[in-house]
Chains A and B, each alone.
Chain A
Amino acid sequence: MVGGGGGLPSEAGRAGGAFAALAEELKVRFRQGVGRPLSDADFDALACRAFEIQFDASPAYRAFCRGRGVDPGAVVTWEEIPAVPAEAFKRLDLVAGAPRDAERVFVTSGTTSSSGIRGRHFVLDLDLYRASLLPNFRAHVLPDVERPPLLSLIPAPAEAPTSSLSFMIGTVAEELAGPAAWLVDGRGRLDVKGFRAAAAEYGGAAGALLVTGTAFSFVHLIDVLRAEGCGAALPAGSRIMETGGFKGRARSVPREALYGAIEELLGVPRHHVVNEYGMTELLSQLYEPVLTRRDRADARPGPDEEVEAVAGRGVHVAPPWLRVRALDPVTLDPLEEGREGLLCFFDLANAGSVCHVLTEDLGAVTSEGVRLRGRVPAAEPRGCSRAMDEIMSAAEGRGG
Chain B
Amino acid sequence: MTEQVAGSGDAQAGNSGDAAAADGAALPTFDAWALPPDFAIPRIPPAFFDTGGVRVRYLEADPQWVRDLADTLRAAGARLAGRSTGAIADALGTVGERLLDPDDSLRREALRFLPSTSGMSEPMAAAVLDGMAADWTANRLRALLERELGEPGLLDRFIPDGPRRVKAFGPALAVQVLAGSVPGVGTTALLRSLLVKSPVLIKAGRGDIVLPALAVRALGKAAPDLAAACAVVYWPGGRSEPEDAALLAADFVAVYGSDETVRAVRARTPVSARFVAYHHRVSLAVVGREALSVDAVDRAVVDVAGAVAFFDQHGCVSPHVVYVEEGGGVDGRAFATRLAGALASLEETLPGGVAEPLEAARLQQLRGAAEMRAAAGPDVELHHGGADLWTVIFEADPSFETSCLNRTIRVKPVDDLSQVAELVRPFARHLQTIGVAGVGDRLGELADALGRAGAVRVAPLDSMPFPPPWWHHDGQGPLTVMLRFVDVESER
Chain A residues with a Cβ under 8 A of chain B: 1-4, 59-61, 63-64, 66-67, 83-88, 90-92, 114-115, 248, 250, 329-332, 340-342, 358, 360-362, 375-376, 378-388, 390-392, 394-395, 398-399
Contact = CB atoms under 8 A, between A and B. Distances in A.
Contacts of A399: 426
22 contacts: A1-B375, A64-B375, A66-B375, A67-B371, A83-B368, A84-B372, A85-B367, A85-B368, A87-B365, A115-B401, A331-B387, A360-B358, A381-B258, A381-B359, A382-B314, A382-B359, A383-B181, A384-B314, A384-B405, A385-B362, A390-B280, A394-B427
B17 interface: no
Nearest to B426: A395
Interface of B: 1-3, 49, 119, 179-182, 205-207, 236-237, 258-260, 280, 282, 314-316, 355-362, 364-369, 371-378, 386-387, 389, 401-406, 426-427, 429-430
Contacts of A378: 1-3, 49, 236
Nearest to B428: A398
A339 to B, nearest CB: 11
B358 A248 contact: yes
B375 A63 contact: yes
Contacts, number: 161
A330 B360 contact: yes
- Which of B386, B401, B402 counts the most chain A CB atoms within 10 A? B402
A111 B367 CA distance: 20
Contacts of B405: 382-385
B258 A386 contact: yes
A111 B378 CA distance: 30
Nearest to B359: A384
Contacts of A92: 369, 372-373, 376
A387 B258 contact: yes
Given A330-B387, A342-B364, A1 B2 contact: no
Contact of B358 (A2, A85, A362, A391): A362
Contacts of B378: 1
B361 A329 contact: yes
Contacts of A66: 375
A335 to B, nearest CB: 11
Lowest 4 A-B CB distances belong to which pairs?
A85-B368, A329-B360, A63-B375, A383-B181
B97 to A, nearest CB: 29
Contact of A60 (B181, B205, B237, B376): B376
B180 A382 contact: yes
B364 to A, nearest CB: 6
B402 A398 contact: no
Given A330-B355, A380-B237, 11 more contacts: A4-B376, A63-B372, A330-B360, A341-B357, A342-B357, A360-B361, A382-B207, A383-B181, A383-B315, A384-B404, A390-B258
- Which of B259, B365, B366, B427 counts the most chain A CB atoms within 10 A? B365
B464 to A, nearest CB: 15
B236 A87 contact: no
Contacts of B365: 85-87, 358, 360
A87 B364 CA distance: 9
A360 to B, nearest CB: 4
Contact of B375 (A60, A376, A386): A60
Contact of A387 (B206, B280, B361): B280
Contacts of A380: 180, 205-206, 236-237
